[in-house]
Amino acid sequence: MSFDVAAAAEVLRGGGLVLIPTETVYGLGADAANPSAIAAIFEAKGRPRFNPLIAHVTGLAAAQRFAAFDARAVRMAEAFWPGPLTIVAPIHDEAAVCDLARAGLDTVAVRAPAHPLAQALLEAFGGPVCAPSANRSGRPSPTTLQDALDETGGAVRAALDGGACAVGVESTVIALLDGPPRLLRLGGLDRQVIEAVIGPLADAGEDAQRSPGRLLRHYAPQAPLRLNAAAPQAGEAWLGFGDGVAAPLSLSPSGDVREAAQRLFSCLRAADRLNPRGIAVAPVPEIGLGEAVNDRLRRAAGFVG
Ligand code: TXA
Ligand code: MG
């Protein structure tokens, strides 16, 4: 196993898989143009083939080589890249991001990650890299290299250690196709911040079927989750919020939604390791990144799809 950028780029060129730190979560990366490398991602994750991947690039110019960005998409990329925003746009070079990676759609999801190691790897590789979160399908996303190695480490020939992810939940996914901008997935960039640049976001609507990731039970630990709990019951692990107690599993002792997003997946994993009867989670306010935290918690609890 290699742990440096040049070797990781070489692994990508050879059709192998790499664990990549990003500011959101760790990704399981492969050459976007190589169908057998992309097939290995689906296999390692146990991911359904109808769920398309995100192509990662260094920035706007690299994205425009294969994605048709309209004026709105350009404005969004200029405002928020590199960062936790994924843009879905029509594809114009279908070979650059292979059919399997797009699940046969005529659109492509693109994002420029902000993590310096992700940027260095993309630069060294020189083309788009598809990378879903590095968990096995349906499990919480990894936010440290160790968690990523525990999930899919057996499938990779290189791994980069970028420390704990600063954002902690996946990127926000916006579709910029015909019609108004649509929010396909809540995530690391607040809805309000996006709307300040591009105006009101429509719900996913018919585009929901274009983002099949939304439809699955996802992010789930082993133990059942009980949300909006006032206190833990006997045998339950407790994920507190804003209770002023620096308990090891508190999402944020001070009640900061950003910190709760950053700690969410590692707290779910840590709670699971206690082998509890269940995991009780305190209410998290639906403001800023709290929206994405609650979205992930509802899916992890099995309330969506
Ligand atoms: O933060 C992130 O986005 C992380 C890091 C590694 O970059 N990646 C990530 O990838 O979360 P993944 O594969 O777990 O989620 C990709 C999401 C899914 O919900 C998928 O359905 C959606 O993006 N998606 C991909 N291509 C799409 C397309 N052409 N149209 C609509 N949705 C698409
Ligand atoms: Mg995922």
Q: Ligand 2 being an ion, which residues bring their Cβ within 5 A of it? A: 133
Q: What is the Å distance from ligand 1's center to 52 Cα?
A: 7
CB 269 within 8 A of CB 182: no
With both helix axes pointing from N to C terminus, report the angle between 257-273 and 290-300 in degrees, rounded to the nearest 10: 20
Pocket test for ligand 1, best of 170, 174, 219, 295 (most atoms within 8 A of CB): 170
Q: Is the CB of 52 under 6 A from ligand 1?
A: yes
Q: What is the Å distance from ligand 2's center to 63 Cα?
A: 21
The pLDDT of residue 214: 53
The two structure tokens encoding residue 31? 């050459």
Q: Is the CB of 268 under 6 A from ligand 1?
A: no
What is the pTM for the complete model shown? Answer: 0.93
The pLDDT of residue 222: 85
Per-residue pLDDT of the chain (305 residues; tens, 9 = 90+): 889 999 999 999 999 999 999 999 999 999 999 999 999 999 999 998 889 999 999 999 999 999 999 999 999 999 999 999 999 999 999 999 999 999 999 999 999 999 999 999 999 999 999 999 999 998 999 999 999 999 999 999 999 999 999 999 999 999 999 999 999 999 999 999 999 999 999 988 655 555 555 555 567 788 899 999 999 999 999 999 998 777 789 999 999 999 999 999 999 999 999 999 999 999 999 999 999 999 999 999 986 53
The pLDDT of residue 216: 53
CB proximity list for 301: less than 8 A, separation 6 or greater: 220, 224, 225, 226, 227
Q: Which ligand is nearest to the CA of 218?
A: 2
Q: d(Cα 202, Cα 179) in Å, to the nearest integer?
A: 9
The amino acid at residue 280 is A
Q: Is the CB of 142 under 6 A from ligand 1?
A: no
Beta bridge partners of 87: 110, 174
Q: What is the Å distance from ligand 1's center to 15 Cα?
A: 21
CB 189 within 8 A of CB 85: yes
Q: Is the CB of 212 under 6 A from ligand 1?
A: yes
- 82 prior amide bond cis, ω within 30: yes
The two structure tokens encoding residue 6? 């040049």
Q: What is the Å distance from ligand 1's center to 68 Cα?
A: 18
Q: How far are the Cα atoms of 73, 189, 287 from residue 81, in angstroms, in the given order?
A: 11, 11, 23
Locate the ligand 1 atom nearest the alpha carbon of residue 28 and give its number.
6
Q: Is the CB of 143 under 6 A from ligand 1?
A: no
CB 19 within 8 A of CB 8: no
Q: What is the chain's length?
A: 305
Q: What is the Å distance from ligand 1's center to 185 Cα?
A: 9
Q: What is the Å distance from ligand 2's center to 291 Cα?
A: 17
The pLDDT of residue 235: 95
What radius of gyration do the chain's Cα atoms show? 18
